[in-house]
Structure 1
Amino acid sequence: MHTVAILVLDDVVPFDMAAPFQAFDWTRLPDGRSPYRVRLCAEQPDVRTRGLALRIDRGLDALRDADTIIVPGRSDESGPPSGRVLDALRQAAVAGTRIASVCVGAFVLAEAGLLDGLRATTHWFAAEELARRYPRVEVQPDVLYVDNGQILTSAGAAAGLDMCLHMIRGDLGSAVAAHAARMCVVPLEREGGQAQFIVHEHPPVPRGSGLEPVLEWIEDQLAGEITLAAMAAHSGMSERTFSRRFREQTGTTPLQWVLRARVRRAQYLLENSEHPVERIARQAGFGSPTAFRERFRRVVGTTPFAYRAAFRARPARPSAASPDRG
């Protein structure tokens, strides 16, 4: 029997802990036997979570006998993991134990040095911070999970469930994994390379950089044509100087900045308007619907139609008990 140890740290996010527990605990072989033994373990018996108080019977020693260790995410206010936790994870890695993280649990693996030189992901909201803190990690912010063999990382709780089903499929085959997916009431088809739905924030622009006026001008001109020459002229610089200073200040090129600004406007319109895709393509400055669909998919990782279906704001329906009195 394969032992899965879920390492519960202080301020653990309950959903991130529940997803792997559910996936492995509900897995069954064709004869009905359970192939996995799921264990919760922690450094201290009493663990704080968001809204829950947990008492964990097993300590860090349980990691020594585990075949797989999963580290769930923690709240934003969490401090760094203790040296004992990091040492236990390093020892498990040296022993060849499979180690995975859910959501911002990737920060724990990175702190232990287990992601150095590897590809990794986390929730898109925290990806930039993960890359900043741990430059030796190749952060991929736009995928559901990354499998490096021994070390795996996933995005949010739902992506963590996808990752667990991926591991089950690798361990026991597609039929067993499909049954586990049905028990979890989720599809089995989502692959790790499928993109997260991401709100693409612009890189911060330092105050006093001199770029603020041209960035405001870009926002006002998104529906029209914006060329490098026009941006440089508006800034009062040559194209070469403007491009160099823009990259130095923002970490990206002027045209990439424009593309992301257009994608953000399109995201807003898809979420908050009934406009057809053809109109949104014009309003966001993509020219044609074909160009809009291709570039939106390349940046966001899904189609405008799928994005709207997932995120369009819907007005609340008045309840029978509280009718709309107009």
Structure 2
Amino acid sequence: MTGARDTMDPVTTDAAIIDAALERFIRARDPDAAPGEAEALAAWAAADPAHAAALARVEALWGADVFAAALAKAATTDMAPATDARTPAPISGAIATRRRRPVLRRLALAASVLVAVGIGAALDLPVRLQADAITATGERRVMMLADGSRVTLDTDTAIAVTIDDTGRHLRLLGGRAFFEVSPDGARPFTVAAGPATVRVTGTAFAVGFAADDAVRVQVRSGRVEAGAAGQTVALAAGDALRLDNTGPGAVTRPDPAQSLGWLDGRLVFADRPLGEVLAELDRYLPGRILITDPALANRRVTGNYRLDDPADSTQSLAAVAGARVTRLTGMLLILH
């Protein structure tokens, strides 16, 4: 598959110029800006056609509702106290200051997002202190446990492990992992994740958090017992189950080539909305992917893409969907 390229004029594709345009645009729009910022912005744009083109692109993207919403979500998340593995910790004193100055509204949020995208979906400090193993954004890692079991950690995943005479106890603190359990009838193997607990003696299965903090379990071989809210369901090879605070959902049998494709470093999907596919790719990108058009997000796509280069895969998906991709700050990919 070939990747789509940004159809902006070449003079505006320089990330440094886009960064400068966005920074100057934010300063000029700040109600508390120093005198002359607006005039300085106009002079900067008039000095070079590349500057004017970059500023025009920033102004156009600024007006997109999805961009403003994403900026607000990112900044709000990073200003809030961390509560669990899916909530990033506060990242700067400047953000706290902006929080006390609501007059800045979207301007402060835009400034915040430039910092926020730099940390991606990084796990917070309390999680790091609990975890025995952590993967960074875009990283996958295989770890061998003391009992001979093997665990594959997906991107942005943290896990804590306790193995002793009483059993093998693991906690998935965030992200997604695949477990290949060494049989040991005397020491059950349990995985706790949010409201869910999975118990086995020897099998291969995946456990991961969904976007809404529910937990998904899928069995590749053997049998497991998965429970939540006092209810337990027995799962066989090929079964999958969603669990949340209300208990287990219905058992399904998804195509493992799609649902477990991440183990081979692939994102495999069939007839899914582009927005859902890009949300999955976004987990592997140290930045953010935005779609400006809801109709584009709902467009159905099918494909098989690499996870080790999510930016290139996004370009390829855009080509399939008939979209263009613009990069901002080197960390934002915007489809329009």
TM bucket (normalised to shorter chain) is under 0.3
Structure showing greater relative contact order (alpha-carbon pairs closer than 8 Å, 6 or more residues apart)? 2
Structure 1 or 2: more helix by fraction: 1
TM-score normalised to the size of structure 1? 0.25
Structure 1 or 2: more strand by fraction: 2
